[in-house]
C-alpha cells in the first residue's frame, strides 16, 4: 500500500472481529513503532503487549479503578473506551521512559512511535484506535506493570529552572497511551476535518 493511501484511509477502528493476531503480525507493528524518530535518538518508548487472559485482567483493572473514581464529565466516554479494549484481541500499552522526567520531548518521541504503529496496522489490513482514556487510571496500570512513578533528578532540576524563569515546563507520567487493535469489524466514514487552509498560516 502506498504511504498516501495509508495516511488518507486510516481511521480509528473501535470494533474488531473475534480473530487473534499472530506474534509475527504484532512484531511487525512494534518494529514500525521502534523505527520512529526520537529526541536525541534515545528511543523513549516501551511497549507492553496484552493478549488473552492478561488483556482481560488489564481491562478489568481499568474498569474497577474507574468504578472507584468520582464521576466527572471529562470521563464520560471512558467506560466506552474500556469496552473497546475489552473487545480488541490485542492492547499495546505505551510507556515513556521518563529518563528526563516525562518532558514534552519524550512524549513527542513516543507519539511518533504510536502514529508509526497506527499506519503500519492500517497497511496490514488491521484496525486500531489510539487510547488516552487509560490516563484516568494511570496509577492502577503502572502498579500492574510494576513501574514506580519516581521524580527524576532531571525533572526536579527542570521544575526549579521553570520556577526561576517563571515558566511552566510541562511534563507527565510514564503512561502515554494504549492502542487497541485487531481485524476491523466496521468501516467508519470519515469525520469532517478542518482544511489545510484553516489550520495553516503562511509566512513569506
CB of 163 to ligand FMN, least distance (A): 29
Query: Under the rule (CB under 6 A), what is the footprint of ligand FMN?
Result: 11-12, 14, 81, 84, 129-133, 191
Q: Quick one: angle between helices 23-34 and 104-123, nearest 10?
A: 140
Q: Tell me how far, at minimum, the Cβ of 140 lies from ligand FMN, in Å.
A: 16
Distances (CA, A) of 139 to 35, 73, 84, 100, 136: 28, 20, 20, 20, 8
Nearer to ligand FMN (CB atom), residue 88 or residue 129: 129
- Kindly give, in sequence order, each residue whose CB lies less than 8 Å from that of residue 127, ignoring residues fewer than 6 positions away: 11, 13, 16, 121, 181, 182, 183, 184, 186
The grid cell for 147 is 513501574
Beta strands 45-51 and 127-131, pairing class: unpaired
How far apart are CB 169 and ligand FMN at their closest, in Å?
20
Nearest to ligand FMN of 65, 158 (CB atom) = 65
Measured from the CB atom, is 67 or 191 closer to ligand FMN? 191
Q: How far is the CB of 84 from ligand FMN (least distance, A)?
A: 6
The Cα–Cα gap between 99 and 169 comes to 16
Query: Closer to ligand FMN at the Cβ: 82 or 158?
Result: 82
Amino acid at each position: 500500500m502506498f504511504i498516501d493511501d495509508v495516511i488518507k484511509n486510516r481511521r480509528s477502528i473501535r470494533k474488531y472481529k473475534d480473530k487473534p493476531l499472530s506474534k509475527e503480525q504484532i512484531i511487525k507493528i512494534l518494529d514500525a513503532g521502534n523505527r520512529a524518530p526520537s529526541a536525541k535518538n534515545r528511543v523513549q518508548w516501551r511497549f507492553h503487549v496484552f493478549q488473552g487472559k492478561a488483556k482481560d485482567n488489564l481491562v478489568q483493572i481499568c474498569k474497577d479503578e474507574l468504578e472507584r473514581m468520582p464521576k466527572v464529565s471529562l470521563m464520560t466516554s471512558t467506560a466506552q473506551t474500556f469496552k473497546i479494549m475489552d473487545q480488541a484481541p490485542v492492547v499495546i500499552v505505551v510507556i515513556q521512559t521518563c529518563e528526563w522526567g516525562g518532558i514534552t520531548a519524550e512524549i513527542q518521541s513516543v507519539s511518533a512511535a504510536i502514529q508509526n504503529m497506527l499506519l503500519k496496522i492500517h497497511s496490514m489490513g488491521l484496525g486500531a484506535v489510539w487510547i488516552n482514556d487509560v490516563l484516568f487510571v494511570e496509577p492502577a496500570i503502572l502498579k500492574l506493570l510494576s513501574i514506580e512513578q519516581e521524580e527524576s533528578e532531571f525533572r526536579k532540576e527542570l521544575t526549579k529552572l521553570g520556577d526561576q524563569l517563571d515558566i511552566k515546563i510541562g511534563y507527565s507520567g510514564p503512561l502515554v497511551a494504549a492502542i487497541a487493535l485487531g481485524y476491523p469489524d466496521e468501516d467508519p466514514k470519515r469525520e469532517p476535518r478542518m482544511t489545510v487552509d484553516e489550520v495553516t498560516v503562511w509566512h513569506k
